[in-house]
Amino acid sequence: MNKQSLISLYVLAMTVALTGLAVSAAVDADTASAALTREAQAAITPARALKMLKEGNERFVTGDSVKRDFLAQVRQTSKGQFPFAAVVSCLDSRIPPAIVFDQGIGDLFVARVAGNFVNDDILGSLEFATRLSGARLVVVMGHTECGAIKGACDGAQLGLLTATLASINPAVKAVQGDYTPRTSKNAGFVQAVAEMNVQLTMQMLYDRSVVLREMIDRGEIGLVGAMYDVSSGKVTFADRLLHGQ
Q: Are 152 and 172 in contact (CB under 8 A)?
A: yes
What is the residue range of 1's domain? 1-33
135 and 72 belong to one structural domain: yes
Residues 25 and 14 in one domain: yes
Look at residue 244 in the predicted model and tell me its pLDDT: 65
> How would you classify the pairing of strands 137-143 and 108-112?
unpaired
CA dihedral 109, 114, 120, 125 (to 10 degrees): -10
Residue 165 belongs to some domain of the structure: yes
Same domain, 13 and 97: no
Is 148 found in the same domain as 85? yes
At 240 the pLDDT is: 79
Please count the structural domains in the chain.
2
Kind and range of the H or E element at 237? strand 235-237
Regarding whether 52 and 13 lie in a shared domain, the answer is: no
Give, as one character, the DSSP assignment of residue 137: E
**59 & 137 share domain:** yes
Nearest to 56 by CA among 239, 226, 208: 226
* DSSP of 27-91: HHHHHHHPPPPHHHHHT--HHHHHHHHHHHHHHHHHT-PPP--HHHHHHHTTT----SEEEEE--
Does residue 245 belong to any structural domain of this protein? Answer: no
CB 186 within 8 A of CB 180: yes
Mean pLDDT by 10 residues, the chain (245 residues): 47 42 37 81 97 98 96 96 98 98 98 98 98 98 98 97 97 96 98 98 97 97 98 94 69
- What CATH number did the domain enclosing 228 receive? 3.40.1050.10
* 68 and 187 belong to one structural domain: yes
Output the pLDDT for position 239.
86
Residue 244 within a domain: no
Within 8 A by CB and 6+ apart from 41, the residues are 82, 83, 84, 134, 136
Based on the domain organization, do 109 and 165 belong to the same domain? yes
> Quick one: pLDDT at residue 6?
42
C-alpha 60/C-alpha 96 separation (Å) is 12
User: What pLDDT does residue 4 have?
Assistant: 54
